[in-house]
Structure 1
């Protein structure tokens, strides 16, 4: 704003004095809430006013604090950016193909590493899954031609990632035969294992089932039950019926035929097993599709022959003799192993057909039975048998426990065989009491015994207080006499008293003498005082009381 006009009189005011104190720099702020003091100090139990009013004034070094807590906010330098130049790249492929290649490259190494690994068959650089992924991204001749034309048209513009990858693959000689040969080399062990292991399991399972005694006993029990129910004398039955054993039930308890069969097997052959745990190879064979296994074996042989053709193509462009010899030795070994695998497969299947004939299957239907379905029938039946057997054994165990409990029902614990010896030992005289009786002062011991026994034989109708008083009166002279004995006799007497007390307490109710029961008097002969004074006493009563016979006729 413009300066104010000069005051009247033409005098100009002096300029404001220049401050000599340095300007304070910006410091870090403390964002606290300031307290508002009350108008007047209020007194409380802790003092007058607040604690802040009683604080001392502290001098601080402001220069040091200003230096330490100076706000060093960076001033953002505004850089003028020019127009952004978008980095362009040559894109020839359609978006779907390009995205698929870019996604596949995320699990693969760098492009230059891929090329060197394919040329040298380096399985450490690219895994089996990586090779299968590259096989799906092999460039076609049309894609290769488009990329090369676009690169010649714009030599200064770089290619896109997908285009660069396809162009690198196209530069590898015999790319497809190399990748197929390499993939066969890495997959052969797995493919061979998927064929050989199920064949071995089938061979082992037939041996386990043919040697299993429990399986034979189950078949014999089922045959006996079926012959009785059908009123026939069959020599055997097809094993496909094992699927229906669980479905057939009796008409009384609705228990399955398998349950009754298992009961008979457990009763007749206690050493029999659950069969399921003894034929694990059959269970594994039930999970394999042997028709697909035969197709895989044929496919493996075809891939081996195709690998020989691929090796011929690769050797035309391959200059490394060691690599060529290595791949040739590998294919020779694979060819021999595939021939052996075919022989094993044929022999195992023929053995399976012979095994079906051994089980009684008609020869006309042997080749129609599939390995997988047969193994599944046996495996499921054995699993059902194991479950039923566990249930049967549990029921038998519970019944045995119930029978044992029924034997001892209504008996005392001392009457059982387990505790009978303890009662006999407790009733026998102890050697301590026998030794005490042989010592001197036997008369005093006998007195104490008689006292204890007599106290035990007193009628129960007596009052408790009278018994205690009488016991105290009798025991006082005995205690005075016991004090005159020697210390050894006191210990012996105490020991004997304890033994007698224990015997009297632990005595069976049947051993204790029964106290004579007082017969309840009839109320008919009761004479009241009023009646006596009115009618007087009879002659029989006077004689019973021993009164003077001369006054029998007088009334009392």
Structure 2
């Protein structure tokens, strides 16, 4: 009991933790209803997670009930009252975990299915992509020429070394020369990177962890069945139990399908890398995310180098065009007349005046300016006379004239 005449059983640290947690939860009077009905409109997934950390222990429940029985006239503290409310809900941990599984299942399934779909689409894209085939065939031809040996293929890891190898003359990378050759040999080729978005996304996924997540999801589904059985012992056959049974049955089927899809796509990946020429003894050790990472990073380097090569080719083309006209004189002026010049000529022709008439008109302008200047000079002389007379009068009056 404290100075506010409340029953306080919990220690200060535990009480503060519960009071702080209560600020992020709905009002205590509505929490029990939300849990029993699994109503997500009242409490969200974050609230469930918070409640799982605030569950009352059997010892705390007993101490609170004993203190309340010993002091029936005193109210419980806020933390004690909250724990007592939670303790009144039968199989509370099972209800919260079942509810959490229900809310999480859609996202968990999506986090597994989307990467599998990306890997599937990525393999299909690479298999039919003409640019990817052209790059590999050209690179193989370059390797055969440089090494002087006829080979059937090369290891995929060599793609990461292509930007690092440089020639001894211009210091251009092998990737630079590869871009030139591919663009010349395959004019309709693309930058590759923009076409393999699925491969790039798949490169960020750990597919071993993905398989573990499927197993984890299966375990959580089985545990949810056990939680539902515990709840049914107290609640009996209710509408909520029927709905949850149907939901869990559907989840179990979808998890089984996920496992089948995962197994088939991984097998398809092994066949794909075997089709690319990877030796059979290395197929099982080839990780999908590592394979996708190598291809994606190479494609990004290829796009960057290709854009640089295109810019260089455009500069050379512009330079050649400038050299065609460099040092040559313009002899046909009429070809370079502007639209305004042509319109002016048409207007002159329409008015019936030729260039000589126009020049004669402009020739009168200096004469007019001279006449105006002369008139202006006469007026200046008259003004000087008036000022002189005014000065004499002012001096004679000596400032006393009105």
TM-score where L is the length of structure 1: 0.60
Q: Does 1:283 align with 2:200?
A: yes
Query: What is the CA-CA distance between 1:405 and the residue it aligns to?
Result: 0.4
| Pairing partner for 1:383 from 300, 304, 316 | 300
Query: Which residue of structure 2 aligns with residue 226 of structure 1?
Result: 143
CA distance in 2: counterparts of 1:370 and 1:90, whole angstroms: 61
CA distance in 2: counterparts of 1:244 and 1:161, whole angstroms: 66
Residues 149-158 or 107-116, more deviating: 149-158
CA, structure 1 residues 159+408, in 2 after alignment: closer, same or farther (shift >3 Å)? same
Q: Does 1:354 align with 2:271?
A: yes
Query: Which residue of structure 2 aligns with residue 89 of structure 1?
Result: 6
CA distance in 1: counterparts of 2:346 and 2:4, whole angstroms: 115
| Pairing partner for 2:64 from 147, 159, 171 | 147
Give unpaired runs (5+ residues) of structure 1: 1-84, 436-490, 502-556
1:130-186 Cα deviation digits (max 9, x unpaired): 111111111111221222222222222222222111111111111111111111111
1:16-75 Cα deviation digits (max 9, x unpaired): xxxxxxxxxxxxxxxxxxxxxxxxxxxxxxxxxxxxxxxxxxxxxxxxxxxxxxxxxxxx
CA distance in 1: counterparts of 2:334 and 2:265, whole angstroms: 67
Q: Does 1:342 align with 2:259?
A: yes
| Pairing partner for 1:164 from 52, 63, 81 | 81
CA distance in 1: counterparts of 2:299 and 2:117, whole angstroms: 21
Residues 283-292 or 398-407, more deviating: 283-292
Query: Which residue of structure 1 aligns with residue 227 of structure 2?
Result: 310
CA distance in 2: counterparts of 1:414 and 1:86, whole angstroms: 109
Query: Which residue of structure 2 aligns with residue 411 of structure 1?
Result: 328
Q: Over aligned residue pairs, what C-alpha RMSD do you find?
A: 2.5
Query: Which residue of structure 2 aligns with residue 113 of structure 1?
Result: 30
Query: What is the CA-CA distance between 1:412 and the residue it aligns to?
Result: 2.6
Q: Does 1:366 align with 2:366?
A: no
Higher helix share: 2
Query: Which residue of structure 1 aligns with residue 388 of structure 2?
Result: none
CA, structure 1 residues 247+422, in 2 after alignment: closer, same or farther (shift >3 Å)? closer
Q: Does 1:326 align with 2:220?
A: no
- Say which SS state the counterpart of residue 54 (structure 2) adopts: coil
Query: What is the CA-CA distance between 1:229 and the residue it aligns to?
Result: 1.4
Give unpaired runs (5+ residues) of structure 2: 361-402
Query: What is the CA-CA distance between 1:373 and the residue it aligns to?
Result: 0.9
Query: Which residue of structure 2 aligns with residue 177 of structure 1?
Result: 94
How many residues align structurally?
352
| Pairing partner for 1:192 from 109, 118, 124 | 109
| Pairing partner for 2:171 from 235, 254, 274 | 254
TM-score where L is the length of structure 2: 0.82
- Say which SS state the counterpart of residue 157 (structure 2) adopts: helix
Query: Which residue of structure 2 aligns with residue 484 of structure 1?
Result: none
Query: What is the CA-CA distance between 1:96 and the residue it aligns to?
Result: 2.5
